[in-house]
Amino acid sequence: MPGSTWEPGPAFRHGGAIDLDSGEIDGGGLEERPPRKSLRTEGRAIARSQNAAAQRWKPFSVRSKSFGARDNLPMSTGNVRASSARRRQHWEAIYEHRSPTEVSWYQRVPAVSMELIEEIGVPHDSAVLDVGGGTSTLVDTLVARSYTDITVLDVSAAALDTSRRRVDPRAQVKWVSADLLTWQPGARYALWHDRAVFHFLVTPADRERYLQVLRAAVLPGAAVILGTFAADGPESCSGLPVARYAPDKLAGILGGSFRVIASRRERHTTPTGAVQPFTWLSARREPEG
């Protein structure tokens, strides 16, 4: 629940761990296991709605329309604003020219995300935040699984617009159009989920800013899931350089106030058939010492 400390479910006590010395991955590669039947069934339903949406999809013109954008930025120096504007422009152009099912990060079923979320045991009424959610079907799957307090944040208003039109309005998803690096969270979340956003931060300053926002958004007891390109993953995406991570490196970046729950290696297959290795890490923010 926003504004309160989230109590971890029983899965925390049984969560896996990684060997930080060897970098050994606990839990095995998900690519070797097909999604559970219910996920496959949900995936088909979501794919049907996404296919219908893709057929209706028309290239966007970049709009100024936003959903809950926050403009009172604490770091509103010229440079920060300029780089924020560049990020927005870059991602709006991507979503303007590519349909959701064409982008390299498209996945019909967010299998690893859901596996990690369910392993953590996040209560279905707790506040879940998908940062850089884009047009991901994670929100659809969470709605289908009866999660009731979902926020999707993205720097691209066009991406959010696509998802918002696809998702059942009765789900009352909160859509936040904002640059994560200048965002001031107005609520506290029990789960922070990031697939393929953190790896675009290639400077220590941007990574530190991300961690500041993360710490402001999640209280002790809350969980974090990060999915990034693996150490042997692609060196760029969408024309942008990326940083690549092994699980121990991601854990080190989160720091000692986060306890690792589990990690995964995934081989994501893009719509054109390329394989992209991903590293996944879930962790829980420890109570302040």
Ligand X SMILES: C[S@@+](CC[C@H](N)C(=O)[O-])C[C@H]1O[C@@H](n2cnc3c(N)ncnc32)[C@H](O)[C@@H]1O
Q: Whole-number minimum distance, CB 27 to ligand X, in Å? A: 20
- Distant-in-sequence, close-in-space partners of 222: CB < 8 Å, separation ≥ 6: 5, 6, 188, 189, 190, 191, 192, 284, 285
Q: Whole-number minimum distance, CB 90 to ligand X, in Å? A: 8
Pick the closer one to ligand X by CB: 39 or 155: 155
Backbone φ/ψ region at 121: left (φ over 0), alpha (ψ -120 to 50), beta? left
State the DSSP code for 124.
Answer: T
Question: How far apart are alpha carbons 111 and 115 in whole angstroms?
Answer: 6
Exposure of 14 by Cβ count < 10 A (0-12 exposed, 13-18 middle, 19+ buried)? exposed
Pick the closer one to ligand X by CB: 96 or 259: 96
Pick the closer one to ligand X by CB: 8 or 161: 161
Residue spans of beta strands (DSSP E) within the chain: 127-131, 149-154, 174-177, 189-195, 218-229, 236-237, 240-241, 258-269, 275-285
Q: Whole-number minimum distance, CB 286 to ligand X, in Å? A: 26
Q: Whole-number minimum distance, CB 24 to ligand X, in Å? A: 26
Q: Whole-number minimum distance, CB 72 to ligand X, in Å? A: 17
Q: Which residues bind ligand X (CB under 6 A)?
A: 87, 91, 105, 132-134, 136, 154-156, 159, 179-181, 195-197, 200
Structure tokens of 34?
Answer: 């097909």
Cβ neighbour number for residue 238 with a 10 Å cutoff: 15
Please, what is the end-to-end C-alpha distance for the chain in angstroms?
22
Pick the closer one to ligand X by CB: 12 or 217: 217
Pick the closer one to ligand X by CB: 87 or 265: 87
Helix 204-217, helix 247-254: angle, nearest 10: 70
Question: How far apart are alpha carbons 289 and 205 in whole angstroms?
Answer: 26
Q: Whole-number minimum distance, CB 253 to ligand X, in Å? A: 16
Pick the closer one to ligand X by CB: 119 or 179: 179
Q: Whole-number minimum distance, CB 23 to ligand X, in Å? A: 24
Pick the closer one to ligand X by CB: 190 or 196: 196
